[in-house]
Amino acid sequence: MPNKDWLPHREQDFTDLCQKWKTGLSDAANGSAFGWKSSDSAAASAAVDAFLTARADYEANDSSKNRIKKDEAKEAAKTAMRDFANASIRYNKQMREEDRLFYGIHTPDGTHTPSVAPATYPEAEADTSTMRQVTLHFWDSGTKKRGKPHNVHGAEIRWSLLENPPESVNDLSNSDFDTASPFTLHFDEPDRGKRLYFCLRWASVTNLKGPFGEIYSVIIP
């Protein structure tokens, strides 16, 4: 029996998958973690972007010309996605099932790798060289490698402007998420001179959360 095509037949489902591919392929940390060739990921990314653009153009103006352009871009994207999946995802030993599932692909043998929350946490440093901005550079604890651990989608960033040090992470009321270092917080002029407290933790591709790291503080420039 032939294998079922992993690409969705319904166009909206295919569009949703392309949006996920666009997110994953645009994250340079994924290419580094999974050992992807930049030329291969760039080719797949270009085809996916071309379809998403053509699809948006068709939704704005459903002319016959735009429909043909969309359909041609869709077939080109399918070809590019299959090629990239076969070369860089399906048999990639650096990727777990959770990683492959993000791109719509099951593991070759059909076995399941249990979801595991990250065991480490991000370390960070703040760049305050620009007025009204704090740029957070983060990496995995115990290493200076500027990248995410295996099976991690990104970092949750908890922060607050406080007069006194927080007693716990629960006192940090604001939350952001970033899939790749660095992350920049923007502030208004009245915030200059205030103290920013922040803390990070990893989240897996299945949104399992790891432990929070150290609570840092810095003065807003």
Query: pLDDT: is 144 or 99 the higher one?
Result: 99
Give, in order, the Cα–Cα distances in Å from 1 to each of 4, 78, 133, 135. Answer: 9, 22, 58, 53
Please check the confidence at residue 37 and state whether its pLDDT lies above 60. Answer: yes
Residue 102: CB atoms within 10 Å: 19
- Give the angle subtended at the CA of 134 by the CAs of 131 and 140, to the nearest 5°: 155
The answer on 93 and 132 residing in a single domain is no
The answer on 215 and 147 residing in a single domain is yes
Omega before residue 182 within 30° of 0, cis = yes
Average confidence (pLDDT) over 18-24: 94
Which domain covers residue 52, as residue numbers?
Answer: 11-102
194 in any annotated domain: yes
- Residue that finishes a domain, picked among 42, 72, 102: 102
Query: pLDDT: is 213 or 115 the higher one?
Result: 213
The answer on 81 and 32 residing in a single domain is yes
Please check the confidence at residue 1 and state whether its pLDDT lies above 50. Answer: no
Q: According to the model, what pLDDT value does residue 95 have? A: 86
113 in any annotated domain: no
Q: How confident is the model at residue 115 (pLDDT cuts 50, 70, 90)?
A: low
Percentage of the chain beyond pLDDT 90 is 65
Our CA dihedral for 78, 15, 99, 82, rounded to 10 degrees, sits at 0
Please check the confidence at residue 23 and state whether its pLDDT lies above 50. Answer: yes
Average confidence (pLDDT) over 7-36: 91
Q: Could you give the 3-state DSSP secondary structure of residue 37?
A: coil
Please check the confidence at residue 81 and state whether its pLDDT lies above 70. Answer: yes
CB-based contact 54:63 (threshold 8 Å): no
Whole-prediction pTM: 0.53
Number of structural domains, the chain?
A: 2
Please check the confidence at residue 201 and state whether its pLDDT lies above 70. Answer: yes
Average confidence (pLDDT) over 102-108: 79
The answer on 148 and 208 residing in a single domain is yes
Our CA dihedral for 73, 78, 84, 87, rounded to 10 degrees, sits at -140
Average confidence (pLDDT) over 46-68: 96
What is the domain-level CATH number for residue 147? 2.60.40.10
Average confidence (pLDDT) over 45-65: 96
189 in any annotated domain: yes
The answer on 210 and 143 residing in a single domain is yes
The answer on 127 and 212 residing in a single domain is yes
